[in-house]
Structure 1
Amino acid sequence: MSGILKVWVVSPDTHSERRIDPHITVEQLKGKLEPITGIPAANQSITILASELDPRVLASLTDDSKKLGYYGLADWQVLKVVDTNPSSSLTGQLTDVTQVDKFELSPEEYAQRRDTVLAYKQRNKVGRFAENEPLAEPEMAPESVNIPVGSRCEIESLEPGLSKRGTVRFVGATKFSKGVWVGVEYDEPLGKNDGAVQGERYFTCAPNYGVFVKPEKVTVGEYPVEELEIEMEDEEM
């Protein structure tokens, strides 16, 4: 078995690992490949590819009298076999769909079947069968939000009677969520960030002093700085 090569043999209908003697001729190789690929030897066109991951054509086996070693065949290269006359071979007949009668249904017959894509869409109300849903309310535009950057504000809290004070540092659209968001620098470390969310910076403040809230939770006014000791709210980002 000395000198035997391990190569891949691929054809339109087969893919297998084979052991090939590089001392055989191209003609002998075609004879061995005929029962493997189903392609008659006379119809075979064989090329050598660098590997399964590298489809570069290294050589075409055009001379039936030459030995495989002449073409430099090496381990784990690919012998790609193409059928030059598929209509005359068994594999060609199996893959030639032009020779198969088509099964056709009229639109009425198709609509009555229960194992079709149409029936699936009807059952699950998909596509044109979907129920009409109410239109979503339009997103608020940044210019319609009357919250000046730099103004003092209070942020609504879920706990009755408690509010958080700070300074507005950002108003506008963000990448982390749709709509308009207000970036606030708290007076105390009650926030969740330093003005950046998911790697995008919108303003700068000390860590845990920054927060982003929806405009309706912000009240602008003359709010002096006061010390607060409350926990962070889950609706803030």
Structure 2
Amino acid sequence: MAATMLSRQDIDALKAYVSAPGNFGQNQAESTVRLHVTHSNLKAEFIELRLDLHMTVDAVKYKLSSHCGTPATDMLLQLRNNNGTLISILTDSQRKLGFYSPQDGWALHIVDTNPNSLSARGWLEDTSKVQKYTMTDAEYRARDNTYWKYKEQKLKEDPEWTAEKELCMRRGIDYVAPKQREAVEDEDFMSAEAASMRVGERCEVDPGSKRGVIRFVGKCDGLPKGHWVGVQFDEPVGKNDGSVKGKRYFTCPEGYGSLLRPDKVKAGDYPEVDEFKFSDEDEI
């Protein structure tokens, strides 16, 4: 069978359709609503979704099941407003989501009715329940082709070697060593920047344009003076689970949390990045 070739006009039309409101783009159509999703067995508000008001409750459940691990048949959905007040229970699986009149920013709370669910008893969030493979320093150093041996060799060649310096060299750009960070003595350091942020707001973090949700705003014992912002990232690009030096400031899965200075965080309408959105350089 001969392959069908798309014309340039067809490709442009397809891109326009994919990026249009209500498809895979970031724009919001009139028939969609932005809802936070919470779960009876999971501590964190783990996602914000755009849902079509024409979807049936059953279809919404199946969509949610791919995000939380609870089968649609084990779900009871509750619609709650911005204050957490229960508005309605979505018991009729064939009714459209729009029948319940949800509003942007409200929450869909998933009640997992299965006592033996995978999400029960903290198995999806508490990493201490998972048996981990451990290796002694001696065992690691005895291995070949490890980062430790690579770093050791590089430092022999250049005592001032760093991973950042290596990346600059590979990219063909000049490396500028970071300045020595001055100690902060002001207890109210960056208080003005922190005052504009609220727990629960979506945000973007630089460098890297990493997106997530603000989970903490305030001062941190054991860290340099001033204000800090705790962020739960959408992806595992963080450094902790919301606790630092033995003190917990918020709760999220391990590797999803970080504490940053407020000037690194921008609060606003930063929905999760849509992996299916085409860029102008995409070809088919």
* Structure 2 length-normalised TM: 0.31
Which of 1 and 2 has higher RCO (CA within 8 Å, sep 6+)? 2
Larger Rg: 1
